[in-house]
Amino acid sequence: MKNYHYMGIDTGGTFTDFVLLSGEAISIHKVLSTPDDPSRAIMQGIDELGLSEEASKGRLVIVHGSTVATNAALERKGVKTVYIANKGLKDVLTLARQNRAQLYNLTPESVEPPVPESLCLEVDCRLDFEGKEIKPLEDHDIQQLVSDIKALKPEAVAINLLFSFLDDDHEKRIEAELADSFFVSRSSFVLPEYKEYERGIATWLNAWLGPKVDHYLGQLVSELNGCSVSMMQSSGGTIEVAQASKRTVNLLLSGPAGGLAATQFIGEMIGESRFITFDMGGTSTDVALIDGDIRLTNEGRIGHWPVAVPMVDMHTIGAGGGSLGWIDGGGMLQVGPESAGAAPGPACYGQGGTRPTVTDANLLLGKLRSEAFLGGSMSLDVGAAEKAVAPLAEEMGFTVKQTALGIISVANEHMNRALRAISIQRGYDPTQFRLCCFGGAGGLHVCALADAMSMKKAIVPVHGGVLSAFGMLVAPHERQLSHTHIKLLSDVDEAILLGSFEEMATKGRAELEQEGVAPENIEVKCSVDLRYLGQSFTLNLDWNSPALLEEVFHAQHNARYGHRMARQVEMVNLRVSVTSPGQQFNMRASSNGSGEAFDSVSIEGYEQPVPVYQREALVVGKALVGPLLIAEKVSTTMVERGWQVVCDTYGNLLLDRVDGQSCLGLD
């Protein structure tokens, strides 16, 4: 749209990131997050970018990744919600799967049930496993249910009836009686798949968090005076804000998914498709693997609860720039998962923090320049960092810098384990991938982590410090639809299946067209979940003829689990992905830089001062050999000894091993 500005906004635990596209010009910005009201940081960033007047005229097109739903879930700050089940099944969410979080702990801590017993109601109706009605839903049962709910005065209602994915008439009738008075979620809309517990949790989460997210989004849209706002979904695609509030459970990995969308976009630019991604922010680190496509999972979790809606397959740990260093009961140094967050933040931020963090350690080791943080808009207090680390150093009997090295080593080990979990432990050879590191703190650790994984290639993408916000803009418009269809693969009726695929695709197309997407730009991809008969877990494969699917399944099962079985293959779920491309960028790096270092700094572990380059001044195609620092407005990259870096034509930093020497274990 002419005269409009396109903006990706990622609200993180410590910083809120902005990427602005105006014409062909790209601008980036960061402000400290405001967890009590995330919209304040957003409006502050828009003002600092000089776009308040444009926003008041509705000339911003915004794609937003938000932590509102995630934080509300983790802090158990959802709204009062009634849960409706069939007669005799109101305790399903409380009973859960009866799995122990700690197998050998005989006295585990009790877990608070998702919904208090007083808010779990039953209705006397039933379908069988084929979707046939065996106990009808009577009008008087509905009226009694409505009366009971009104007496409880909830804000939201979750409806989860048996086999509603086969016939949703009962759920729809109940919803129709309640929708005018409450925020209502029904399982046949949220997750029309089998497994009543997982389906019930997804439906409850959607209802429990929905009013909170709906209020936040309504307030944000109001403050933005009618600007177009879309939300990033956990699956890596966007959804228009009016529809997003109905699908709150699909927003739980809203921010981190943006980084994967950006990585895939950059991979297409540079002609590579295999990445292990590493997103290190202020509060946490997210790692994932891209092998051509972004990998999705239906086995994600938030807190104690499974989240069976499609989301990016990501492993998250509590290790970020703000992660706190501490000594455990056995005298061992630990880092995280507790974080200094946005307030007070690391001690060196000068906002009242007194405990040592990873950022404080990097500053003390010389890898951050105190006077040039965030492009000089924020200075770091070295004295405050020393004061924070000193008690830890005294307790350990080390110097302050030795302790800082210890903090970095422990943090790196946590992140290394996460990288192994997403690659080696799933049968992937990490040496066949490029390590893609982003987030404000990622560039400082990229070489050490690549060495730990024996990886020879890495990349710090252009705008890597705000890559998730960048990903909001390039992410496709998307809907992920699913439906359970359990049948032996050998007994599948292709005509019936193709009809089901088309029904889901038609629904997805209609939703995208409501967002203004042109029909000719919509792409549909069909897939199926398969398993061996008798198994619980499935593998997702692109749709093809049943005969070919069976052979591909055997091969994929062997690759993933190391064996194949002489059993029949069963189809479980049908899935349809409906997408349309996001914003397109004509990206080119400047080739007018001097290519000369503008400073040098002393870094612990290196005898000679290490040169410092400005990223914008690098000469495209000119190789530089570490050790060196590359500074930019929103992040810093440490190129360790034994690594070479080249700025490509798009502005990405491509790193390659140039000898067999490891940068690990510096002292």
Task: Give pLDDT tens digits for 629-652.
Answer: 998 887 889 999 999 999 999 989
Q: Where do the domains of the chain lie, and which CATH numbers do they carry?
A: 5-73+214-251 (3.30.420.40), 78-206 (3.40.50), 477-580 (3.30.1490), 599-657 (no CATH)
Q: Is 599 helix (H, G, I), strand (E, B) or coil?
A: strand
pLDDT of 286: 87
Mean pLDDT over the full length of the chain: 90
Which helix (H) or strand (E) is 21 found in, with range? strand 15-22
Residue where the block lists tokens 């982590």: 449
pLDDT at 589 (0 to 100): 63
Indicate if the pLDDT at residue 660 is higher than 60: no
Whether residue 375 has pLDDT greater than 70:
no
Tell me the two tokens of residue 331: 């005298």
pLDDT in tens, 413-446: 999 999 999 999 888 999 999 999 988 788 999 9
pLDDT at residue number 594:
78
What's the confidence (pLDDT) of residue 604? 87
Lowest mean pLDDT among 303-307, 326-330, 338-342, 483-487: 338-342
User: How does pLDDT run across 247-272, given as a tens digit for each residue?
Assistant: 999 998 887 889 999 999 999 999 99
Cα–Cα distance measured from residue 271 to residue 599, given in angstroms and rounded to the nearest whole number: 34
Q: How many CB atoms lie within 10 A of CB 204?
A: 27
Does residue 282 contact residue 322 with C-beta atoms inside 8 Å? yes
3-class DSSP assignment, residue 502: helix
Decide if 494 contacts 517 (C-beta within 8 A). Answer: no
Q: Confidence band (pLDDT; 50, 70, 90) for 663?
A: very low
3-state secondary structure of 603: coil
Helix (H) or strand (E) holding 213: helix 196-223
Q: pLDDT category, 667, cuts 50, 70, 90? A: very low
Residue 336 contacts residue 419 (beta carbons within 8 Å) = no
In terms of Cβ atoms closer than 10 Å to its own Cβ (0-12, 13-18, 19+), residue 536 is: exposed
pLDDT at position 560 is 83
Burial 386-419 (b: 16+ CB within 10 A, else e): bbbbeebbeeeebebbebbbbbbbbbbebbbebb
What are the CA-CA distances from residue 307 to residues 168, 248, 419, 567, 613 (Å)? Answer: 21, 12, 22, 29, 44
Q: Taking residues 437-460, what's their average pLDDT? A: 92
Tens of pLDDT, residue by residue over 349-359, are 888 889 999 99
Per-residue pLDDT at 5 exceeds 60: yes
Q: What local confidence, expressed as pLDDT, does residue 69 receive? A: 86
Which tens digit of pLDDT belongs to each residue from 487-530? 999 999 999 999 999 999 999 999 999 988 999 999 999 999 99
DSSP secondary structure letter of residue 357: B
Residue 664 in this model has a pLDDT that exceeds 50: no
